[in-house]
Amino acid sequence: MKDLIAQSLKYQDGKVQVLDQYLLPHQEVWHVCQTVSEMQSLINNLQVRGAPLIGLAATLLVAYLAEQGASQQVLCKAIDELEATRPTAVNLKHCMDRLRGVVHDVQYVAHIVGVAEHLFEEDIALCARIAQHGVALVDAGDNILTHCNTGALATAGIGTALGVIYQAMQRHGDIHVWVDETRPLLQGGRLTAYELARWQIPYTLLCDSMAASLMAAGKVDKIFVGADRVAANGDFANKVGTYNLAVLAHFHQVPFYVVAPKTTFDPNCASGQDIEIEQRSAREVTGVSGSFGECQWAPSQAKVYNPAFDVTPAKLVTGWVFDSGVYHTPHFHIL
């Protein structure tokens, strides 16, 4: 397999390597991943994260295993186990389905490697097209609110929602971003702030609960968020807290856009009610941890509700930005 290099994932010198996003922004540590169990752990612990990137990381590992001489039976088991790692984001399933389509071929090693290389390069191209379409929605001087992290850390390319913002900054030069902290895992505070600082895009960090007062004060011009799965009717799942923003945006008449590649669209999912929502550990809510250490503030026996995602209904969406264009109604021509 040829070298494939992105911001937080690379195949280089015959090794699958991932940037540990759990340790960002204070430590930049790369892990070499050689087994299914290692990749499962990296994904479950959010060391590898972002719907497109999760699918690509798993795909590169399967290709690596194929090149190392793994049998078709072993590869089929690896594909199934990796797909089961996280249920909500559909990109992982799409990638694993692509591998299933070639794993039984006579020349399965070459075909698996070909799929891995194609998916990686395709994601870069998809992100570029998303940004080209989405930038038309941004005006000079806009104050844009975003949630979670949707940049180059979460994809092989420039990102999805954050890629649009990056492209807008290149075009206009005077964009400002409001960055939701994104509780409970702080992807906005840790990762989006990190990326915007590197890109030299002005930003202001806020707690999730502060977004309402910003909108009420007229300080938010538009909202751009990513997605982990877009249903056929336009409902979509994204990092928990996105639905809150959509409701607030609707009340305050702030345009609300969801940005995603075609690999995040699931035509077999009729509506948001059919999206399985991952429930995560109580420890993520009772305290906080990261490169800075750990702290628990809640009583040790506190009961916790911790869905990783929520579902936003299509009726709250101003527009869907895909690599194929901008849609103002959920009648998509994605493929």
**3-state SS string for 27-41:** CCCEEEECCHHHHHH
- Closest CA relative to residue 31, chosen from 52, 2, 55, 60: 60
Q: Could you report the per-residue pLDDT of 137-157, keeping only the tens digit for each?
A: 999 999 999 999 999 999 999
Q: Could you report the per-residue pLDDT of 38-62, keeping only the tens digit for each?
A: 999 999 999 999 999 999 999 999 9
pLDDT over threshold 80, residue 291: no
Tell me, yes or no, if 80 is annotated catalytic. no
Please tell me the pTM assigned to this model.
0.95
| Cβ atoms 57, 99 nearer than 8 A | no
pLDDT of residue 113: 98
| Cβ atoms 307, 277 nearer than 8 A | yes
Tokens of 208: 């999730």
**44: annotated binding-site residue?**
no
pLDDT of residue 335: 54
Q: Could you report the per-residue pLDDT of 198-248, keeping only the tens digit for each?
A: 999 999 999 999 999 999 999 999 999 999 999 999 999 999 999 999 999
Q: How confident is the model at residue 293 (pLDDT cuts 50, 70, 90)?
A: confident
Tell me the CATH number of domain 4-127, given options 1.20.120.420, 1.10.150.120, 1.20.58.100, 3.40.50.1240. 1.20.120.420
**183: annotated binding-site residue?**
no
Q: How many other CB atoms are there within 10 angstroms of residue 110's CB atom?
A: 14
**314: annotated binding-site residue?**
no
CA dist 257 and 222 (Å) reads 8
Helix count and strand count (H, E) for the chain? 11, 17
Listed by start position, the domains of the chain span 4-127, 137-328
Tokens of 85: 């790692």
* E strands present in 56-161: 143-146
| Cβ atoms 37, 29 nearer than 8 A | no
Q: Could you report the per-residue pLDDT of 73-92, keeping only the tens digit for each?
A: 999 999 999 999 999 999 99
**234: annotated binding-site residue?**
no
Q: Could you report the per-residue pLDDT of 232-290, keeping only the tens digit for each?
A: 999 999 999 999 999 999 999 999 999 999 999 999 999 999 999 999 999 999 988 77
CATH tag, 137-328: 3.40.50.10470
Helix (H, G, I), strand (E, B) or coil at 156: coil
DSSP codes, 221-254: -EEEE--SEEETTS-EEEETTHHHHHHHHHHHT-
Q: Could you report the per-residue pLDDT of 5-30, keeping only the tens digit for each?
A: 999 999 999 999 999 999 999 999 99
CA dist 250 and 260 (Å) reads 20
pLDDT of residue 334: 65
Query: Exactly one of 20, 180, 208, 228 is catalytic; which is it?
Result: 228
- Closest CA relative to residue 211, chosen from 184, 237, 239, 177: 177
pLDDT of residue 292: 77
Question: Mean pLDDT score of the chain, rounded to an integer?
Answer: 96
Strands 319-322, 203-206: pairing kind: unpaired
pLDDT over threshold 90, residue 3: yes
